[in-house]
């Protein structure tokens, strides 16, 4: 699947579902703040930071790769990566979860044992992420791995192929779950994953 979520100027993309569509797993109130305020602020900040700079003519992915690891461009990287990460997160979710495609399921069985063991490992990684960040399913040259990133960091900046992410910043779950990050991860993994999106990222085209 094409995971390039770019436009110029950068805009807040529409959610792929209504704000209340994932309730009670994730409430409309959470989406109102998380998408409507946090995500929008990253978009607005990014446009302000790149105005008049070469970054303004790049795609979102190009901005992330060009600014990664440059202290002077940390603000640009943080906001660009958070725009991309959040859009990827929304697309990782759906009110009608299904099952992994056959190729992806074989890879999950090979690298994790089975789907339930994958979910357990993914949730453990998410709970174990200290502070704000993300937990990802990544395709590393055909092998599936689970990775954690802090703050705005994204596998895209390291040239890796992300298949799935769940946001574990507190604002992703605190209205609905308070400090129970483990419960948030369990519910999302069991009832909200967009396996079509994940499978298409694993086997594009």
Answer whether residue 5 shows pLDDT above 60.
no
**What number is the average pLDDT over the span 104-122?**
98
State residue 9's pLDDT score. Answer: 84
pTM, entire model: 0.94
Q: At what angle do helices 74-91 and 40-50 cross, to 10 degrees?
A: 140
| pLDDT the model gives residue 2 | 45
**Domains, the chain, ordered by start:** 28-91 (1.10.287.990), 102-202 (3.55.40.20)
* CA nearest to 181, candidates 193, 171, 189, 173: 173
Going by pLDDT thresholds of 50, 70 and 90, the confidence category of residue 118 is: very high
| In the predicted structure, residue 71 carries a pLDDT above the cut 70 | yes
On the question of pLDDT at 7 being above 60, the answer is no
pLDDT tens sequence across 170-184: 999 999 999 999 999
Residue 12: burial class (beta carbons within 10 Å; 0-12, 13-18, 19+):
middle
pLDDT tens per residue, range 140-156: 988 999 999 999 999 99
């Amino acid at each position: 699947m094409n995971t390039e979520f770019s436009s110029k100027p950068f805009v807040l993309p529409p959610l792929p579902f209504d704000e209340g569509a994932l309730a009670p797993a994730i409430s409309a109130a959470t989406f109102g703040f998380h998408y409507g305020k946090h995500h929008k602020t990253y978009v607005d900040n990014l446009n302000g930071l790149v105005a008049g700079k070469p970054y303004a003519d790049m795609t979102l992915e190009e901005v992330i790769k060009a600014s990664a690891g440059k202290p002077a461009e940390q603000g640009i990287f943080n906001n660009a990566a958070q725009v991309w990460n959040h859009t990827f997160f929304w697309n990782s979710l759906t009110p009608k979860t299904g099952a992994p495609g056959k190729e992806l399921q074989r890879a999950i069985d090979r690298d994790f044992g089975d789907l339930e063991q994958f979910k357990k490992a993914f949730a453990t990684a998410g709970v174990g992420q200290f502070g704000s960040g993300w937990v990802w399913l990544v395709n590393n040259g055909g092998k599936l791995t689970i990775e954690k990133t802090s703050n705005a960091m994204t596998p895209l900046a390291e040239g890796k192929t992300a298949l799935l992410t769940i946001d574990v910043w507190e604002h992703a779950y605190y209205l609905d779950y308070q400090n129970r990050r483990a419960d948030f991860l369990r519910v999302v993994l069991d009832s909200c994953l967009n396996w079509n999106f994940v499978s298409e990222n694993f086997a594009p085209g």
